[in-house]
Amino acid sequence: MLFFSWLSPLKRARRAARSAQWAAAAAAYRAHLARRPADGAVWVQLGHSLKETGALEEAAVAYRAAAGHLSGQAEVWIHLAYLERRLGRREAAIAALKVALTMAGGGSAAQALVEMGARERLPPVAQQAMEAESGDYALSRYPVWARAGRRPALPLPTGAQMLVLIDARGADPAHVATTRETLGDIPCRVMTEGTALVTAAGADWLLLVKAGTLLVPDAAGQLYAAATSTGAGAAYADHDHWTAEADGIAHHDPCLQPMADPVWFARAAVRPPVLLLRAEAAAAADDWEALVAGRMALPLRYAHVPLVLASRAGPVPVDLPAPATPAAAADPAPIQIIIQTRDAPALLTACIDSLRRTAAHPNTLDIVIMDNRSVLPETAALLAGWQAEGIARPIAHDEPFNWARANNLAAARGNAPLLLFLNNDVEMGTPGWDMALRDGLARPRTGAMGALLLYPDRLIQHAGVIFGMGTEGGAVHEGVLHPTEPGGPAARWRHPRCASAVTGAWLAVSRTLFDAVGGFEERLPIAYNDVDFCLRIRAAGAHVVQASDIVAVHRESATRGSVMSTAEHARDRADWAWMRERWGAALDLDPAFNPNWARSGQPFDGLRRPPAEVVAQWIEASARPDPWAVVPTAEG
């Protein structure tokens, strides 16, 4: 969505009339309070009225006054909390909700904290109550969640021919012995530097294990069952980390994996410490080093078991920063950047200046501005100046707002091989972003890319789109209002990975693929057109990558969310119903969203225990030739 509001004159008139009504009500409440300043109920009504007129700071003052006069009423503090959130003051919102939790009727405050991604801020008693009621746990309660999980054991079948290869390169001998102890009677071989890759006669399967890893008793059986039942060539599982403490072993920092993701598993820090591999697949590697280094990149079908079957030794590995990519010396591919605007000259200026200032090759940027009925003289002067200087090409677009159609028309007015669709309220922050874009789209099977978008205060606005949240399985941005450091579970918000979709506020794609999938769906003028586009990219056999190494500031809705009218809600629901009809189950099963993550609150901030049938469905889906591929259920 763009920063400014695309409203027809009739809608603006209706909204102005409603605002006038609320303003009149606010004046009446103020007159009443001048006579009876201690009337807490009227302070609440004044807060509601001011909020509806857009006077948010004044509304916050009114709610605080109401809280002072209505001691013990949680509802007032909850109203204040939601308003503080709209004002971008997340910590103030959380503080208000924690006050509400101490009062009668404050039960909804706990759910509000979860919705704000503050599940960890719940008092222990409230956390335990939520665990008992919903089965959802805060991440800090991981040891409790892990102990609560009980499942039938699945031992390795008698007669299964398996050989364990322990990667002992540079390992503490005690760690090698620890791993041996967890393997039971399975034949085992220790691999060190320079060890030739030789398998035992008759072994059909290799179990690659990093020294120091602790395996649950049925880990081999679980992986074997997943691989053999799906026909996959390999199987991996989730893991956590262990450290020795005075009172025993402490388990922490779970790494709950996605389905096979070549971008995610390029990171050594998150690769599974245990991998089951068909013996013949090892023939593709010349030696142990080649096999271990490339074990998650072999051309196989990988079955993923969404169970914590292993613990990796020591603290969580830290990814070393990737070396800077040097700017290409000769003829980098041109990039057509398409920006839609209606006035907002200050935002547009900041956007264009940041693009050119941070690009390694600003002369290769073909900036096209779709001017949708701007009326300000300063906008006209700005666009004319840029055109004269060769900075940007403005195109007059005199049609009702349709984000998808405007982008399609703009793309047709260029010939650069790479496209970047960009909101006018985005300011690029990564030096050399244009080279990162080129390099990213040049990776095998990468079809589209998104960036890490931050609010001006550096909290996350977008780190990819996740499907399957909430009772209706909606598509939501992940990472919202969280800091970029430490970057979420397994630092997922700081590193590139595959995603189900990314936002159209920053979306890069090759022109060839854009044309092949038919551009954006013009039946979706405002919402979900970016999600639908990404799904069609995946249906074409390409991947969508959330490139979190490219960072930009997105000033979307300075109040972090706007209130939609009844008609706008109805349109949104109708558009999502249309998406459901076209894409069906693809909107429910997100390959990045391990079923152990809670579906309430914000993505990746809580844990749950999925039922056995959900685990089985995940394993089956993960073992497809490409688990990221989707098939539409209807052409729409």
pLDDT of 200 reads: 56
| Residue 125: per-residue pLDDT | 87
Q: What is the CATH number of domain 335-599?
A: 3.90.550.10
Q: Is the four-CA dihedral 520, 524, 529, 535 of positive or negative sign?
A: negative
What is residue 298's predicted lDDT score, i.e. its pLDDT?
A: 83
Q: In whole angstroms, what is the distance from residue 563 CA to residue 47 CA?
A: 16
* Rg value, the chain, Cα: 27
N-terminal to C-terminal alpha carbon distance within the chain: 23
Fold of 162-313: Spore Coat Polysaccharide Biosynthesis Protein SpsA; Chain A (3.90.550)
Give CATH superfamily name and number for 9-147: Tetratricopeptide repeat domain (1.25.40.10)
Regions of the chain with pLDDT less than 70: 1-17, 194-201, 284-289, 320-330, 471-472, 557-566, 635-636
Distance CA 80, CA 56 (A): 10
Q: What is the tens place of the pLDDT at every residue in 357-385?
A: 999 999 999 999 999 999 999 999 999 99
Beta strands in 179-268 (DSSP E): 188-191, 205-210, 214-215, 234-245, 248-255
**Does 162-313 match 9-147 at the fold level?**
no
The CA distance from 400 to 163, in Å, is: 66
The pairing of beta strand 162-167 with beta strand 188-191:
parallel
Please tell me the predicted confidence (pLDDT) of residue 191: 86
DSSP run (H or E) holding 510: strand 506-510
Q: Tell me what pLDDT residue 560 has.
A: 34
Q: What is the pLDDT of residue 571?
A: 87
CA dist., res. 236 & res. 209, Å (int): 11
For 382-403, the pLDDT digits (tens) are 999 999 999 999 999 999 999 9
Domain boundaries, the chain: 9-147, 162-313, 335-599
Q: Supply φ then ψ for residue 237, to 5 degrees.
A: -140, 180
How far apart CA 281 and CA 135 sit, in angstroms, is: 40
Helices (H), 390-528: 403-411, 433-442, 511-516
Q: Which long-range contacts (CB under 8 A, 24 or more apart) does 66-74 make?
A: 66/40, 66/41, 68/40, 69/38, 69/39, 69/40, 69/43, 70/40, 70/41, 70/43, 70/44, 72/103, 72/104, 73/40, 73/103, 73/105, 74/100, 74/101, 74/103, 74/104, 74/105, 74/106, 74/108, 74/109
- Report which residue type is found at 218: D
Torsion region of 554: left, alpha or beta (phi above 0 gives left; psi -120 to 50 gives alpha): beta
The pLDDT of residue 7: 45
